[in-house]
Chains A and B, each alone.
Chain A
Amino acid sequence: MKAREFWLLFAPSLLVMGGLLVIPLVRTVQWSFESVHYGSPGSFVGLENFATALTDPRFGRAVLFTLAVTAATVVILLVLGYLIATAINRITRSRPIVLGIMLVSYVLPNLVGAVAFSWLFDDNFGGVINRMIEFFGGNQVLWFTDQVPNGILVIVNTVWHMLPFAMLIILAGLQGVPTELREAGIIDGARAVQSHLHIIIPTIRGVLGFVTLISIMDVLRMFDNLIALSPQAASIGNESIMLYVYSVAFADGAQRLGLGSAINVLTIILILTLLIPFIRGIFKEAKAAR
């Protein structure tokens, strides 16, 4: 490819990336050191915003909650995604309809899905799950005001929303596993479980890494589903980092954009730290593939 062709094709992407990623990132870092109000230039405050964020117990609680939900959700996504993908990989005729139904939760706007999901646990709107618990003799569960039940609710909703993505990617990975390899395992006497643990999973390791990477990034940024699922998130300690940013920087007409930016910078550092092993793995694989 000639240099001119390369730049012709690459320039639009560069412009979009620069406009939508680089400039906002630079501005976020700049604002994190400033006191900023809408419509007026910021004034330099040094590390004050970072000090405010790091000494606010609410920020610590938001980080802990976000990490806990991320860890639990990613593990569940990988396990359930793998199991369902394996099952769907075996069906042929009804696969499109099964996939179509499964994708419903993924294509729904997150907030809409979360509102509908919350109704399953809300007596004001039927509360089907509550009725089932009652039917089996269980006690009333305070899904929206008790920290642990509410955390479970958030995790289940996040899994419900993201499972189709994980399953689809893993299914694509499974379809790429050579039949010869599986057959060789069977000839060597591998049982089903052994075949999965020692043949299939190692073969799709890269795909599983990709699902983990994307899932971690997505769950760490969770925000809109909490509006419906955790109406008093802050007071029960179930606030995500992004919801915390929104609360301190924008909600109720607040204008603490500097503080919000500082929290975002800290979040970026946190995300990068968590993703280092996966990024290194991807680089290694890319290097090996050359």
Chain B
Amino acid sequence: MSITKNRAFALTAAIAVGGLILTGCGAGGRTASKNATAVSCDYTAPDSATTVNVLAYNSSAVDPFTNTMVSSCTKGKVAVKHDPIDFGGQVTKTTATLSGSTGSYDIIETYSFVIPGLARDKKLRPLNDLFEKYADKYGLNDINKSMRAGMSYEGNLYALPMQAQMFVMAYRADVFDNLGIKVPTTFDEMIAAAKAIKAAGVMDYPIALPWLATSDIGTSFQAAMNSLDADFVSKDGTVTLDTPEAKQALQSMLSLKPYMDPQVTTFDQPKVQQQMFNGTAAMSIMFSGRMNDLTLTSNSKLSDSFKFAAPPKVNAAAKYSYDRLSIDGWSIPFNTKLDPDMLFVMMASAVSEDASKASIPAAYPARNGMVTADNSPYGKAATDSIASAMPPIASPVLASVTTEIRPILVQILAGNLTINDGAAQMQAVAQKIVG
């Protein structure tokens, strides 16, 4: 009996351990076709078996387009493949695949922030000719003109816009209504709202922003500068990180800190979402691609309480809102060996009218007039946000500058560096990059 029991114990333990191993190994398979829309994808297929490798990070806003491409364009001898990856992984793999004469990917997801740098380094194929060729068939002229401009550099289009993401403020309408608080339009009003919420004992840290030290913090600083009609560099390429606007932006960010979780510099967007889901924050500002998650009852019991608005300005005198507009799109790497026509048709199919419609409300498609207040809970806020955002400055050095100033920025926000010293250090670092 004891031997049998021992064996049973051993078997149970083995099954438990084996199950855990299999669970671990199974994490992250190839993207399935959920969220996919069936669209026509009429390319001329090559004679031999062909695999089209797609690099695109996973998010609820990008997935519908990627999944549509994978499911609709895989046919016959052509297989479109996409492996799950996060945004950081995409950044690293983009650099790697574009570095040599051959790459691992044939279609890559790009965004407006990196287009100038990649275009300057001739890492992407200009798409003007293909756009003209297929514009009528796929209704490409309905893609927002300013978004196309955002994916262009020196007159050439380098990515076919898929969707845009802009900062949107999500807030707890129930808390605001109960306390008679109006939706904040400036940082001062945000602070006043936070004080009132805190004083009422509803929560300790009413404001939630993604300020992760290794990524989001740079975007947030840029958004604060944009609100003041400035950026890290001016249109002529001069570094502007020790200007009064830069210092004012830093000061305004510091002014929010007492009302945010003390560990805010470890919070990325999913963690900010989690704060909202849990009811530990009453207002947050994130990219619009994160907003639909807040409205899903499966994510939070508070989903009905969330309302959306354009982000506030840094101060009442600021020209623009605390905002960043990022356009996502599809690009063809310079080193793919596959037929550019076939690849472009796949990209055009993925951003077709049907595919774009189906991506709402998870995404804000690049096609004109798609998102309305009726079909997207944050549609009006997103449209208002675009209207109040500073037009982006297209500079090939912005991405590098953002990366290099980040550690200094963290030290300023942690209180280890004064604003003046930090601004001077950031200016020096950025000037070294600009040369």
Contact = CB atoms under 8 A, between A and B. Distances in A.
Nearest to B25: A109
A108 B21 CA distance: 7
Interface string B346-373: 0000000000000000000000000000
Given A107-B20, A144-B266, A253 B91 contact: yes
B408 to A, nearest CB: 10
Secondary structure of the B side of the interface? Answer: helix
A97 to B, nearest CB: 5
B180 to A, nearest CB: 28
B17 A124 contact: no
A97 B263 contact: no
B212, B262, B280 interface centre (most CB from chain A within 10 Å): B262
B44 interface: no
B410 interface: yes
B49 interface: no
A250 interface: yes
Contact of A107 (B5, B24, B265): B24
B274 A125 contact: yes
Interface string A111-153: 0100000000001110000000000000010111100000000
B278 interface: yes
Interface string A218-260: 0000000000000110110000000000000011111100000
B411 A38 contact: no
A178 interface: no
Interface string B262-302: 11011010010011001010000000000000000000000
Given A93-B5, A123-B280, A124-B275, A112 B99 contact: no
A38 B100 contact: yes
Contacts of B280: 123-124
Contact of A38 (B21, B96, B262): B96
Nearest to B11: A96
B403 A235 contact: no
Nearest to A97: B9
B410 A38 contact: no
Q: Size band of the A side of the interface?
A: 35 or more
A99 to B, nearest CB: 6
B24 A235 contact: no
Contact of B410 (A125, A235, A254): A235
A145 B262 contact: yes
A39 B13 contact: no
Contacts of A94: 9
A189 interface: no
A97 B262 contact: no
A282 interface: no
A38, A231, A251, A255 interface centre (most CB from chain B within 10 Å): A231
B407 A235 contact: yes
Interface in B1-24: 2, 5-6, 9-10, 12-14, 16-17, 20-21, 24
A232 B275 CA distance: 19
Q: Size band of the B side of the interface?
A: 35 or more
B100 A39 contact: yes
A12 interface: no
Contacts of B21: 107
A107 B407 CA distance: 35
A93, A101, A235 interface centre (most CB from chain B within 10 Å): A235
A96 B95 contact: no
Interface in B197-224: 212-214
B146 interface: no
Contact of B101 (A39, A93, A96): A39
Contacts of A255: 95, 99
Contact of B266 (A103, A145, A234, A254): A145
B16 A100 contact: yes
A235 B411 contact: yes
B195 to A, nearest CB: 20
A176 to B, nearest CB: 21
Nearest to A144: B266
Nearest to B413: A235
B213 A142 contact: no
Given A145-B263, A234-B407, A250-B92, 14 more contacts: A38-B96, A39-B99, A97-B13, A103-B17, A104-B20, A107-B21, A124-B275, A125-B274, A140-B262, A145-B414, A232-B410, A253-B92, A253-B94, A254-B403
26 contacts: A37-B99, A38-B100, A93-B2, A93-B5, A93-B6, A96-B6, A96-B10, A97-B9, A100-B16, A104-B20, A107-B20, A108-B20, A123-B280, A124-B275, A145-B262, A145-B266, A231-B213, A232-B213, A234-B214, A235-B407, A235-B410, A251-B92, A251-B214, A253-B92, A253-B403, A255-B99
Q: Which 7 A-B pairs have the closest CB atoms?
A: A100-B13, A39-B100, A38-B99, A232-B213, A39-B99, A253-B95, A231-B266
